[in-house]
Amino acid sequence: MVFLSFFSHVFHYLPTRTSITSRIELKKCVPARRLDVELRLSLFGIKRSIDLSRWARHRTAAAVLASALLVVPLTLWLLHPAAVPDLANGNVVGAKALVDGWAKGDMIVLVRHVERCDHSHAACLTGNDGITERSRSVAVEVGAQFERLGLNHADIYNSPMLRTSQTAGFMFNKVGAGEDWLISCKGTMLRDALAHKVAGRNLILVTHSECMDQLEKDLNLPTSTLGYGASLFVSAKASQAPHMLGFIEASDWHSVTTE
């Protein structure tokens, strides 16, 4: 009896069924120039309010931050200069542009000397500052590729170093007296190349990796790590600003195709 009397007493003070049920009110308060949203909860007579506008502001800030995290790297990627194209290995568009530009005599090409002896354990051809014996065949093979392009309308220069003179000799059967600007090329490579370019004639320069890097810098391009005997082609039409066409490694000429 005491047990039943206790629960009767408790239930007598409980709120009605209607008041036990949670009630959610969505209130819009519209002060001047602002829209606030308030969520009011009432449970067992206890009222709580949640300012939803505060959460909305946090959500907006998070969205802005997330957008910034996406936009910043995308912008940096778009502003970063594109890498120099590989004209071999199935780059049909690039190969066609090379053949067309070469036929018109619009090309400047820098060719790196073949393997230097003082950086190799291979046998030297002659002199420690020359090329290796085994690289002579590489120079001959690259020269044959230029022969296919056509050398009747081409001017050929080489730096005064022994390794470039030997490379030019095996590659083009021609050795010049040696041009100092093809070894002392810091900040002047593009300027000097354009100064020696004759309209309607291709210009072939047998030089060094440092001068190839400088040419890329002069054209505001990232420098490439090109191997011995590699060729770097620049289109230099008389009516247009010079622009980089691409490169061909010595071992990749067989993969150059226009079909």
Q: Where are the domains of the chain?
A: 2-79, 92-255
Q: What is the 3-state secondary structure of 27-77?
A: EEECCCCCCEEEEEEEECCEEEEEEHHHHHHHHHHHHHHHHHHHHHHHHHH
Which CA distances in Å does 71 have to 57, 78, 124?
A: 21, 10, 54
CA–CA separation, 182 and 157 (whole Å)? 8
| Single pTM value for the model | 0.71
Q: Are strands 36-43 and 202-207 parallel, antiparallel or unpaired?
A: unpaired
CA–CA dist 182, 168 (Å, integer): 13
The whole-angstrom separation of Cα 206 and Cα 194 is 15
Q: Which conformational region is residue 89 in: left (phi greater than 0), alpha (psi within -120 to 50 degrees), or beta?
A: left
Q: What is the pLDDT of residue 82?
A: 77
- C-alpha 28: how far from its chain's center? 52
Identity of the amino acid at 43 = L
Using CA atoms, how far residue 74 sits from 8, 61, 68, 70, in Å, is 70, 20, 10, 6
Tell me what pLDDT residue 71 has.
60
Low-confidence spans in the chain with pLDDT less than 50:
1-36, 76-78
CA separation, residue 93 to residues 87, 100, 166, 259 (Å): 8, 11, 33, 9
CATH architecture under which domain 92-255 falls: 3-Layer(aba) Sandwich (3.40)
